[in-house]
């Protein structure tokens, strides 16, 4: 039971990171391999604000997310906008390149030694039934859950949400409706970067802050996204939860070092049985 609950807690974080990936892919058709590194930079920014400038936790948190949004917009505006209509391979190479460049620059600025990162709430675990949980973990789950809910409501019921869904289905037709598609795509990048940033800040206390911290999480988020179908937003969340629980089960019953290997085995098995992912449908034809 404890293992499943702990797995779910991380699952929420993976789900959030996967949501960011899927949002960007679904809206702009680009697979963002730099997602994890963007989140890493956001986490470092929050660390600078928190530890070096001595800001209170939530002020630093909010400012770091603001930074993440801007960072996402800049990446879109400077790099992605130009390759928006290029072949997918070019787009992939570009985001992979950004992954490496961002990682390298972060290493130059912040060095390579790991640092400890504080939790939002300190405190010993308390017991609910047979499960131990900390206040910080409750906060993590609560926050990611609220973010997912807010995100869902925006996507489903607001004007900008409708514009996002329309632009993702047919850019040209969306333009003819008077939608500024480039603005919509820019917001998708901003939101995607914020979701990733939250995932980074939430996991940093558990794994030490360093420039490679997001690699594992990115892979887990990709696993969650792929399992969920990669174009389904609820699928990303469900996929993230599955990966979180599964990873914890593998660590406990088999071996922690093998969790990556087993995660890939899970992806392979699921895609073998259901090639479109659990909640993915056939991808509609996109006209240019």
20 touches 224 (CB < 8 A): no
Q: Which are the contacts of 273, defined by CB distance < 8 A and separation ≥ 6?
A: none
Residue 113 lies near other proteins (rule: CB under 8 A): no
**Residue 87 binding other proteins, by CB under 8 A:** no
Residue with smaller CB distance to other proteins, 70 or 177: 177
- In the bound state with other proteins, the residue whose beta carbon lies nearer, of 175 and 216, is 175
- 276 touches other proteins (CB under 8 A): no
From 87-95, 134-142, 177-185, 255-263, give the range in contact with other proteins by CB under 8 A.
177-185
What contacts 15, CB < 8 A, 6 or more positions away?
Answer: 144, 148, 224, 236, 237, 238, 239, 240, 241, 244
Query: Which CB atom, from 123 or from 282, has the smaller least distance to other proteins?
Result: 282
Interaction between residue 172 and other proteins (CB under 8 A): yes
* Residue 258 DSSP class: G
In the 3-class helix/strand/coil scheme, how is 64-97 assigned residue by residue? HHHHHHHHHHHHHHHHHHHHCCCCHHHHHHHHHH
Q: Does 176 bind other proteins (CB under 8 A)?
A: yes
Kindly indicate which of the ranges 37-45, 83-91, 99-107, 172-180 contains the residues binding other proteins, using the contact rule CB under 8 A. 172-180
- Segment interacting with other proteins (CB under 8 A) among 78-86, 105-113, 174-182, 189-197: 174-182
CA distance to 5, 68, 151, 212, per residue, from 115 (Å): 27, 21, 31, 12
Q: Which residues in this chain contact other proteins in the complex, by CB under 8 A?
A: 159, 162-163, 165-166, 169-170, 172-180, 284, 287
């Amino acid at each position: 039971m404890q293992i499943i609950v702990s797995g779910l807690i991380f699952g929420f974080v993976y789900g959030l990171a996967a949501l960011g990936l899927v949002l960007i892919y679904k809206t702009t058709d680009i697979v963002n391999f730099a997602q994890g590194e963007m989140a890493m930079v956001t986490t470092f920014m929050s660390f600078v604000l928190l530890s070096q400038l001595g800001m209170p936790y939530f002020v630093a948190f909010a400012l770091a997310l603001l930074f993440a949004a801007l960072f996402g917009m800049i990446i879109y505006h400077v790099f992605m906008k130009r390759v928006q209509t290029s072949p997918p391979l070019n787009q992939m190479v570009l985001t992979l390149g950004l992954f490496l460049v961002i990682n390298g620059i972060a290493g130059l600025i912040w060095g390579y030694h790991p640092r400890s990162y504080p939790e939002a709430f300190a405190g010993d675990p308390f017991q609910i039934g047979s499960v131990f949980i900390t206040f910080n973990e409750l906060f993590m789950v609560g926050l990611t859950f609220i973010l997912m809910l807010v995100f869902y409501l925006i996507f489903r019921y607001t004007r900008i949400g409708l514009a996002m869904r329309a632009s993702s289905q047919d850019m040209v037709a969306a333009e003819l409706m008077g939608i500024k598609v480039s603005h919509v795509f820019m917001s998708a990048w901003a939101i995607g970067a914020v979701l990733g940033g939250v995932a980074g800040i939430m996991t940093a206390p558990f794994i030490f802050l360093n420039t490679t911290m997001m690699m594992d999480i990115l892979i887990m988020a990709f696993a969650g996204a792929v399992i969920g179908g990669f174009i389904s937003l609820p699928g990303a969340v469900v996929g993230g939860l599955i990966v979180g629980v599964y990873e914890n089960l593998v660590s406990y019953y088999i071996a922690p070092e093998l969790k990556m290997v087993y995660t890939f085995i899970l992806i392979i098995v699921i895609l073998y049985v259901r090639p479109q992912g659990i909640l993915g449908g056939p991808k509609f034809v996109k006209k240019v």
